[in-house]
Structures are given as structure tokens and as C-alpha cells.
């Protein structure tokens, strides 16, 4: 069974940093691109970042570019996002998602983790 388990969320002050992790199991992690998607309280889905299966290609939404860094450790089947210079508007549930097809970036997200809540507030 495919599982994605996020961790690392919590309360952080504006300007602070946080690193989220996503532990993957049930599939060959190093064959799949991965993504982070967030959802502010009561709002819609916002794509945040994508990383290719090898980690050689990364993509970011304009809203987080220069502040967030996506990475992965294929030896640990784990996806990360380092979030710096956090703002109140970064407050959201952050979901780890898996691309549907192995090796593809032009594809839908077929599996989602349960999400981890990040709250940016003083």
C-alpha cells in the first residue's frame, strides 16, 4: 500500500524557518517525481514545488521561490521542503504528493499524504 507521511509542521514566528519531511512507502520512491501542495485554512489548493525523480530538476511557485527549497533522499525514501523567511500567508496544511506515472513530470498527482499544518504567527 502506498503511504505518504508528512511531519515537521508546527507554529513558527514570521521570518522563521521550518523543514517538512515526507516519508514514502509502498512504491519505488526513486522512480517518481514528487510535489508539495498547500491549502490555507478555508481556501483552495495551491501547488508549491516539484522535484524530479533523481532530484536534478526542481520547480517552485512564484509565491515561494527563493524562500523554499525542495529536496529528496532516495536512500531514505524521504521528500523534504526547507521553508525559510516564513510569512503569515504561508500558514497552511502542506501535502506531500506523488506523480501518477514513473519518471513523468507532465502528470497528475495520484497519492496524497494526510498533510501537516504550518502556522506562521507571532
Partner 1 sequence: DVQMTQSPSSLSASVGDRVTITCRASQDISNYLAWYQQKPGKVPKLLIYTASNLQSGVPSRFSGSGSGTDFTLTISSLQPEDVATYYCQKYNSAPWTFGQGTKVEIK
Stretch of 17-25, 71-79, 83-91, 102-110 lying at the interface with partner 1 (CB under 8 A): 102-110
Question: Rounded to whole angstroms, how far apart are CA atoms 63 and 40?
Answer: 13
- Measured from the CB atom, is 12 or 90 closer to partner 1? 90
Burial 27-53 (b: 16+ CB within 10 A, else e): bebeebbbbbbbeeeeeeeebbbbbbb
**How far is it, in rounded angstroms, from Cα 47 to Cα 81?**
13
Binding piece for partner 1, criterion CB under 8 A, among 14-22, 23-31, 56-64, 77-85: 56-64
User: Residues 24, 50, 51, 118: which binds partner 1 (CB under 8 A)?
Assistant: 50
Residues lying near partner 1 in the complex (CB under 8 A): 35, 37, 44-47, 50, 59, 61-62, 95, 100, 106-110, 112-115
Amino acid at each position: 500500500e502506498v503511504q505518504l507521511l508528512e511531519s515537521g509542521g508546527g507554529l513558527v514566528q514570521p521570518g522563521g524557518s521550518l523543514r517538512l519531511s515526507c516519508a514514502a512507502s509502498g512504491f519505488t520512491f526513486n522512480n517518481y517525481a514528487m510535489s508539495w501542495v498547500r491549502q490555507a485554512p478555508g481556501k483552495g489548493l495551491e501547488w508549491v514545488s516539484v522535484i524530479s525523480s533523481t532530484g536534478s530538476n526542481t520547480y517552485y511557485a512564484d509565491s515561494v521561490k527563493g524562500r523554499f527549497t525542495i529536496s529528496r533522499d532516495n536512500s531514505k525514501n524521504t521528500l523534504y521542503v526547507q521553508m525559510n523567511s516564513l510569512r503569515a500567508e504561508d500558514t497552511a496544511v502542506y501535502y506531500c504528493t506523488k506523480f501518477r506515472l514513473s519518471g513523468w513530470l507532465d502528470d497528475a498527482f495520484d497519492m496524497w499524504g494526510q498533510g501537516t499544518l504550518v502556522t506562521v504567527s507571532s
